[in-house]
Structure 1
Amino acid sequence: MELEQALKDGRASGALPGLHSVLVLRNGEVLANVYFEGEDEVWGTTIGNRTHGPATLHDLRSVTKSVVGLLYGIALAEGIVPPPDAPLLAAFPEHADLSTPERDAITIADALTMRMGSAWDENLPYTDPANSEIAMERAADRIRFILEQPMENAPGTAFNYSGGATTLLAELIARGSGQPIDVYARERLFDPLGLARSEWVRGIDGRPSAASGLRLTAAGLARIGQLIVTNGSHNGQQIVPADWITAMLTPHATTSQLRYGYHWWLSPQDAPTWAAAMGNGGQRMTVVKPLGVVAVIFAGNYNNPDDWEVPVSVISQYIVPALGLE
């Protein structure tokens, strides 16, 4: 109750602008569950002021990528997608004409760790058609658009944030399962977790946007986060293989400030161990596995270069002190 009140006071004072909701679990117990009114969007389309609550679906934006990372592990265990060490381009034989020695060297693991080596720029605003994700969305063939990008680095050597990498992984799941990624996610992840509500926004070509289109409630996303704490199990059912959770949270790449696993952000070398899924506007789920802590934060600060400030403040100034971790 003290944490909830502190968050309410922070929102009312203007210290947490645009904050929509916060849900914090420790070992499955709810420590805070608060919701606020605020302007919101659905995948870039303004929907006006909303009173957010436990049943409200919210854009996850790039948190979606981390969910796809989990789904790839499920699909791998089913034997319907290539393993991480398999060549990427070979999994798309209809684009064999794009073959070069550099492209042929890209592996599935390079897509999982966003080290494909190809050109991709999401540093521009997502309202800019030159942003690579927006250009991909508008391309006649999004898969070919991703694969034909010129090579800038040797595969596996340099981290380059790419919704294109996620799109390729989701396409492999869809091809292997014979289902769109949203249907596969519903059957293999959401239904087993008991998530009653979800939505996956579809792009111009009718495919669910694997990079940013998922919408869930805060409780639904927290239940996915709880899978990290429990090594992939839920109510006695192994939903995600435990060895995939380990591989997914193993640092494979280093960014300017953080480390990166298989589509999950990881703490710096000198920080307490945590994993996080992050999205445009201030969407964040942070999991501190050793402590059994899952924190979900939704906000409406879309396309704001400082959108990270609210979730970081919620964690560092409110949740950490409430857990006695200062």
Structure 2
Amino acid sequence: MTVHPLPTADPAAQGVDASGVHAFLDALEADPDIEPHSLMILRHGHLVTAGWWAPYTARRPHLLYSLSKSFTATAAALAEAEGLLDFDAPVLSYFPEFEADITDPRSRAMLVRHVASMASGHEDETVDEAYGTDPAEPVRGFLLQPPQRDPGTVFAYNQPCTYTLGAIVQRVTGQTLTDYLRPRLFDPLGIGETLWQRDRTGREIGFSGLHAATDAVARLGQLYLDDGVWRGERLLPRGWAARASHPHIPTAGTTLVGDRQDSIRGYGYQFWVSRHGFRGDGAYGQFCLVLPEHDAVVAVTTATERTQEYLDLVWRHLLPAFRPAPLTGRRAADTALRERLERLALPPADGGPAVPERAGDWS
């Protein structure tokens, strides 16, 4: 694989005001509950901001948590385009060996598009029940959990939904998600090393577990921003990005979501609808923010439980920085921003020398 660097530009040349990026960095670093690890901003297809807080580096793979789900959905879209998967087919049709075991009518009525949109009919998370019921085959364990509602009528953020979607892709392709995506997505996008966690079945789990660099997140976001076209080559089916980012099921008022303003606008196919654009979203602040109205992508890795507050800072500081036209006379500001990004570092951890009488324990 030949990795081509993302095209770069000064922020001002792409209509990005460096002062807004400075304000965003100031806000992140002033919040004791947010530990930023990386930030990449693309505008009009150009990388205008990139920084990593040492000891994190550009090439270091990062656990993406549930941002992995957006890659799983992308694999499902590719399998659909190849005629291997049907979003309107019953989930059970891909696992005929469970036919006699799965008797609940709602489980039998569950379609691929229902698990793709977290609308299986369950009212809550079932991951413990699925793995507890059948550790050797979590799909069977999931389908043995009777949904409380008809599939397609209620949202619940439910890991076995994505696990099952990924399991279908791996079954119909005969490959792991990584092996299937490598020639179709990862290599064409220039995504380097990745690693995806597997369970005891040998499957990559789909709902989490993908380790990849921030650059991979940025490239996926740009691909979705451009409706699946990368450097003139169509990688994803036409219109898939719109399907994936369309709210297929309402999320407001559900248990997980509460009143978080960027989670009450509906859920697509493994993407959340945000106040601005849509996003892939992983625990502790792993974000792929796709902002069509600004022709921008923001890719970040973080360690924080205050994920809504993080998004609030993006909207407060970065959105006003996206201007409608190139900015002039900003060379000094762009240079100052670049120099700041080059010296980003997390503060040293608190601690002290070993207690003298126990120093030998570490020697």
Shorter-chain TM range is 0.7 to 0.9
2:234 match: 238
1:13 is the counterpart of 2:30: yes
Report the Cα distance in structure 2 between the residues aligned to 1:316 and 1:22, rounded to whole angstroms.
15
What pairs with 1:100-115 in structure 2 (closer than 5 Å)? Answer: 100-115=104-119
Between Structure 1 and Structure 2, how many residues are aligned? Answer: 293
> Residue 204 and residue 120 in structure 1: after superposition, are their counterparts in 2 closer, same or farther (change >3 A)?
farther
Q: Unaligned regions of 5+ residues in structure 2, if any? A: 1-17, 253-263, 325-363
Deviations 1:95-150 (A, max 9, x none): 112133222221111111111113542xxxxxxxxxx4355456232111111112
Supply the RMSD in Å over aligned alpha carbons.
2.0
2:127 match: 133
Match of 1:160 among 156, 159, 170: 156
Q: CA deviation at 1:319?
A: 1.2
1:308 is the counterpart of 2:308: yes
What pairs with 1:202-281 in structure 2 (closer than 5 Å)? Answer: 202-256=198-252, 257-267=264-274, 271-272=275-276, 274-281=277-284
Query: Match for 2:109: what amino acid?
Result: A
> Residue 140 and residue 120 in structure 1: after superposition, are their counterparts in 2 closer, same or farther (change >3 A)?
farther
What pairs with 1:51-70 in structure 2 (closer than 5 Å)? Answer: 51-70=55-74
User: Is the Cα–Cα contact under 8 Å of residues 166 and 205 in structure 2 kept in the other structure?
Assistant: no
1:148 match: 144
> Residue 252 and residue 315 in structure 1: after superposition, are their counterparts in 2 closer, same or farther (change >3 A)?
same
Match of 2:293 among 280, 290, 295: 290
Shift >6 Å, 4+ stretches: none
> Which secondary structure state, in structure 1, belongs to the residue aligned with residue 172 of structure 2?
helix
Query: Match for 1:73: what amino acid?
Result: A
2:84 match: 80
> Which secondary structure state, in structure 2, belongs to the residue aligned with residue 146 of structure 1?
helix
Report the Cα distance in structure 1 between the residues aligned to 2:78 and 2:171, rounded to whole angstroms.
14
User: Is the Cα–Cα contact under 8 Å of residues 117 and 269 in structure 2 kept in the other structure?
Assistant: yes
Using the size of structure 1 for normalisation, the TM-score is 0.83
Report the Cα distance in structure 2 between the residues aligned to 1:307 and 1:192, rounded to whole angstroms.
31
Instruction: State the structure with more CA Rg.
Output: 2
> Which secondary structure state, in structure 1, belongs to the residue aligned with residue 76 of structure 2?
helix
> Which secondary structure state, in structure 2, belongs to the residue aligned with residue 253 of structure 1?
coil
Report the Cα distance in structure 1 between the residues aligned to 2:145 and 2:81, rounded to whole angstroms.
30
Identity %: 28
Bigger fraction of residues in strand: 1
> Which secondary structure state, in structure 2, belongs to the residue aligned with residue 299 of structure 1?
strand
> Residue 137 and residue 199 in structure 1: after superposition, are their counterparts in 2 closer, same or farther (change >3 A)?
farther
User: Is the Cα–Cα contact under 8 Å of residues 285 and 296 in structure 1 kept in the other structure?
Assistant: yes
2:317 match: 318
Report the Cα distance in structure 2 between the residues aligned to 1:229 and 1:196, rounded to whole angstroms.
21
User: Is the Cα–Cα contact under 8 Å of residues 91 and 110 in structure 2 kept in the other structure?
Assistant: yes
Q: For CA contacts below 8 A with separation 6 or more, give which structure has more relative contact order.
A: 2
